[in-house]
Amino acid sequence: MSTARTLWPCAALPNAPLAGLTNMKVGGAAEWLLEPATPEELRDAVGAARERGMVPRILGGGANLVVADGVLPGVVIGTSRMNMIMRPQAPDHGATEALDQGLDARVAPSPIAEDPRLACWAGVTMVGLVNRMRRLGLTGLEMLAGVPGHIGGGVAMNAGGRGWEVWSAVELVRLIDPDGTFRDLPREEASPSYRNGNLGEAVVAGVVLRFGTGSVKEVGERINEYMRAKNATQPVTAASAGCVFKNPDPDASGGLSAGQLVDACGLKGRRIGAAEVSERHANFIVNAGGATATEVLALMDLVRDEVASQRGVELEFEVKRWLPGAAG
């Protein structure tokens, strides 16, 4: 009988429950959950899944995602074990070398003011990244404070907010193409757009980020300020998948954001089962305790339909929805 160890090139779990690995805390199980610990294991995991005719779904940090109830056929790849943040060893190292050599602990990194870059594997949490920025006095992505998820997902979807986005700090992304090979994509050859890294079917293995330098105190204060603002306006302690919808083209929506449109339709507090449109920010659906994925997905559809019929605006999903059958 074949075992997980002989089938897959990294840690693997059959029939793995996914709800606890997502921020929405709903949904069923994956037929297989693979947990690579390095970019090479991730590449091999992607290759092994594809060899078996499966398109792997990348869980990342489980933010921005609703997993349907039931069993999800195929392979899900979690990146939690790939959480290395490295300082490049020399400013004259290109970004590719920074990712290759950053792990060699025998060589001290150059002073941060000379080379304010970080090389991150895909599973670095954005919270961990912000902590490192705080400690080193790095500036440029302070607005990631309190944003859940992994940097790999943040790059893939170009996480951001009003007036900022992750790609503003990207120097290079290391990708895994569908044929299971690495490809380094420099920023100038990429074309990220609002909430989309436009990376096609490629999987993010790592990224080199370039920051500005500032005083540790001031960077820390800015991070605290972003945290305060987020806490004041978003349901940060509730289980949710973050903003459900992308902000629409202002020309089509009369300048209103997705949250403002849902709010204007009187939908705050609307529930299906234990899924609820947040009272704090209408573009969030929260799990009020024990919700099912079916309830969450139905409420998302209801909100989209209401906004279309009341306001004539077709909102586009920002959250990924993993439904059995469709690759996400």
Binding site for ligand EPU (CB under 6 A): 161-162, 233, 242-243, 246-247, 257-260, 263, 281-283, 318
Nearer to ligand EPU, 206 or 242 (CB): 242
Nearer to ligand EPU, 57 or 281 (CB): 281
Q: Least separation, in Å, of the C-beta of 169 and ligand EPU?
A: 15
C-alpha angle with apex 143: 140 to 146, nearest 5 degrees? 135
Nearer to ligand EPU, 211 or 245 (CB): 245
CA separation, residue 273 to residues 7, 25, 217, 289, 294 (Å):
40, 15, 46, 10, 9
Nearer to ligand EPU, 196 or 260 (CB): 260
Q: Where are the beta strands (DSSP E) in the chain?
A: 11-17, 29-35, 57-60, 65-67, 71-78, 85-86, 117-121, 138-139, 160-161, 164-165, 170-176, 182-186, 203-210, 212-213, 239-240, 271-272, 275-277, 285-287, 320-322
Q: Least separation, in Å, of the C-beta of 235 and ligand EPU?
A: 10
Q: Least separation, in Å, of the C-beta of 188 and ligand EPU?
A: 25
Q: Least separation, in Å, of the C-beta of 263 and ligand EPU?
A: 4
CA separation, residue 153 to residues 205, 226, 264 (Å):
10, 20, 31
Q: Least separation, in Å, of the C-beta of 286 and ligand EPU?
A: 12
The H or E element containing residue 45 is: helix 39-51
* Burial letters 27-37, b for 16+ CB under 10 A, else e: bbbbebbbbbb
Q: Do residues 118 and 48 lie in contact, with contact meaning Cβ atoms separated by under 8 Å?
A: no
Of 145, 143, 165, 140, residue with least CA distance to 155: 165
Rounded to whole angstroms, the Cα distance separating 35 from 244 reads 27
Nearer to ligand EPU, 119 or 145 (CB): 145
Question: For residue 257, which phi and psi values (nearest 5 degrees)?
Answer: -80, 170
Q: Least separation, in Å, of the C-beta of 92 and ligand EPU?
A: 35
Residue nearest to ligand EPU (CB): 161
Q: Least separation, in Å, of the C-beta of 211 and ligand EPU?
A: 19
The H or E element containing residue 168 is: none
- What type of residue sits at position 282? A
SS3 label, residue 302:
helix
Nearer to ligand EPU, 187 or 246 (CB): 246
Rounded to whole angstroms, the Cα distance separating 128 from 148 reads 10
Q: Least separation, in Å, of the C-beta of 148 and ligand EPU?
A: 9
Nearer to ligand EPU, 283 or 292 (CB): 283
Nearer to ligand EPU, 257 or 292 (CB): 257
